[in-house]
Amino acid sequence: MDRDFIARNQIVERYIGGRLPLKGAQDFERFCREHPELLDEIALTERINAALRLLDASGRATPWERHSKPWWQQLPALIGTAVLALILAITCLVMHARLAARDASIVGLQQRLSSQALDPAKSTRAILLIPSRTGPSPHSLVTIGGASAQMADLKFDLSWSQFNAFNVTIDRIDQGRVGLLHNVQRDSNGNLHLELNSTALGPGDYQLTIEGLAWRGDPVPQAWATISFAR
């Protein structure tokens, strides 16, 4: 390899462009070590400066500059991810502890409810009620219970009704059905009797629906009454 061969075969351009085979690149590098003046003759410094100016104009980093990492690989992002994971783990532990405590409380209340007996009634209270004929009413007619248990003898005035037998449906307002009494007869005064221990039902408001029974047994709405229980 000599100067004429280098110029004729465009060795410099091919070397800079990475198009020389390995053997040719090694021969060219060895020739440059033996003849360093060739670098001045081929204006290698000017070519390198021109290439750097092109890189700068295009906004691309020079080969020796460190390339910036993506944001998710940078230290602040990694630290933030680790802190977030720690917070989520602590939150999960706290929620698990609260749910476990809630479940234990529910089980305890269920056991207490299943084992709780009715308080013995020490007195009987007779209550005459005039139920609504037009529909359910949000206003309670009476409050039953209090400091001590008592038997409440509820007398619903149905003397105006053409029926003698009735179904009585008891619903706890905004919660669900409590009970259904079938074929309850009214007395000779036209009153429908219903006796309850004041501790039989939990505190709250209850809606009673009274339906008369036709001779075929078909229920016909007759009256409604709202009563309250207290402890």
Task: Note the pTM of the prediction, 2 decimals.
Answer: 0.48
Question: Tokens 């690989």 correspond to what residue?
Answer: 73
pLDDT at 204: 86
Q: What is the pLDDT of residues 53-95, one digit of tens each?
A: 766 666 665 555 555 666 666 777 778 888 889 899 999 988 8
Task: Please give the mean pLDDT across all residues of the chain.
Answer: 80
Triad 90, 92, 98: Cα angle to 5°: 105
| pLDDT tens-place string over residues 165-199 | 999 999 998 888 888 999 999 999 999 998 888 77
224 has a pLDDT exceeding 90: yes
Report the run of H or E that residue 62 belongs to, with start and end. Answer: none
List, in sequence order, every residue forming a beta bridge with 229; answer none if it has no partner: 144, 204
Phi, psi of 205 (to 5 degrees): -105, 140
pLDDT at residue 109, as a whole number: 63
Region(s) of the chain under CATH 2.60.40: 124-230
pLDDT band of 223, cuts 50, 70, 90: very high
- Annotate 150-168 with DSSP letters as a single string: -EEEEEEE-TT-S-SEEEE
Question: For position 212, what pLDDT does the model report?
Answer: 93
Spatial separation of the C-alpha atoms in residues 201 and 77, rounded to whole Å: 59
In this predicted structure, the answer to whether residue 110 has a pLDDT above a threshold of 70 is no
- Return the amino acid letter for 154: L
Residue 220 scores a pLDDT above 90: yes
Q: Which of 190, 135, 186, 136 is nearest to 159 (CA)?
A: 190
Quickly tell me which residue has 């009797």 as its tokens: 193
CATH code, 124-230: 2.60.40
CA distance to 52, 71, 88, 173, per residue, from 75 (Å): 31, 9, 20, 59
